[in-house]
Amino acid sequence: MIPGETIASGADPTCGVCGITPKLEVLMSSAGYYIGTRCNCGPYSRESGYYKTRKLAEEALSSGGFQRR
Does the pLDDT at position 12 exceed 80? yes
Q: What is the CA radius of gyration of the chain?
A: 12
Give the confidence band of 69 by pLDDT, cuts at 50, 70, 90: low
Q: How many angstroms separate the CA atoms of 60 and 34, rounded? A: 9
- Phi, psi dihedral angles at 29 (to 5 degrees): -135, 180
Residue-wise pLDDT for 16-33, tens only, equals 999 999 999 999 999 999
Give the confidence band of 1 by pLDDT, cuts at 50, 70, 90: low
Residue-wise pLDDT for 24-63, tens only, equals 999 999 999 999 999 999 999 999 999 999 999 999 999 9
**Contacts from 27-33 at CB under 8 Å and sequence distance 24+?**
28/54, 33/57
